[in-house]
Amino acid sequence: MPAKNQPRAELRTALRDLRIELSINTYRVAGLARLKDSDLAVLDVLTREGAQSPTALSRRTGIHIATMTGVLSRLERAGWILRRPDTTDRRGVQIEPTGIARLTDIYRDGNRRLDEIAEGLTEEQSSAVLAYLRAVTGAVRAFTDELAAKDDQ
């Protein structure tokens, strides 16, 4: 491999390593919270992006709508979410997270470790890392949407 491609390959490898570690971490956090990985994904989306319809959650997470129905029932029974009538569509509901404080407790030490790493970065380094991660997130989301569109055909 030519030397000029080495940093790109190393970045892709580092992202794959991160994906693996995040996946393992998600599995462990879900287990501690007595959730499934898919439950945790739904709660994370709701917490970060706000209340959504079951259909929107299904599209956003890639969880089939029939499976999403079971996920939401399980989360509601365990006190993790509330279903509220949709104010714009009387037939619909919006799903809101309610039990996030329980997850915050589980993530507290991990968040502290991430904060310590971030504190060691200069403002320029922080800006570069943030720009890269946002660009990667956008590229991955676009690629995921393309894959979903192919799957729908």
Write the pLDDT tens digit of every residue in 19-42.
999 999 999 999 999 999 999 999
Q: What is the mean pLDDT of the chain?
A: 92
Q: Tens digit of pLDDT for each residue in 44-96?
A: 999 999 999 999 999 999 999 999 999 999 999 999 999 999 888 888 999 99
| Mean pLDDT of all residues in 117-126 | 97
Residue 125 pLDDT > 70: yes
Counted domains in the chain: 1
Distance in angstroms (rounded) separating the CA atoms of residues 73 and 121: 43
Question: Does the residue 130 lie in any domain?
Answer: no
- Provide the pLDDT for residue 145: 87
Question: Does the residue 150 lie in any domain?
Answer: no
Question: Does the residue 151 lie in any domain?
Answer: no
Question: Does the residue 64 lie in any domain?
Answer: yes
| Domain enclosing residue 91, as ranges | 3-120
Q: Provide the b/e sequence for 55-92 (b: ≥16 CB within 10 Å).
A: ebbbeebebeeeebeebbebbeeeebbebeeeeeeeee
Query: For residue 28, what is the domain's CATH number?
Result: 1.10.10.10
Q: How confident is residue 3, by pLDDT bands cut at 50, 70 and 90?
A: low
Question: Does the residue 146 lie in any domain?
Answer: no
DSSP 33: T
Q: Tens digit of pLDDT for each residue in 96-109?
A: 999 889 999 999 99
Question: Does the residue 42 lie in any domain?
Answer: yes
DSSP 62: T
- Provide the pLDDT for residue 51: 95
Contact 95, 74 (CB under 8 A): no
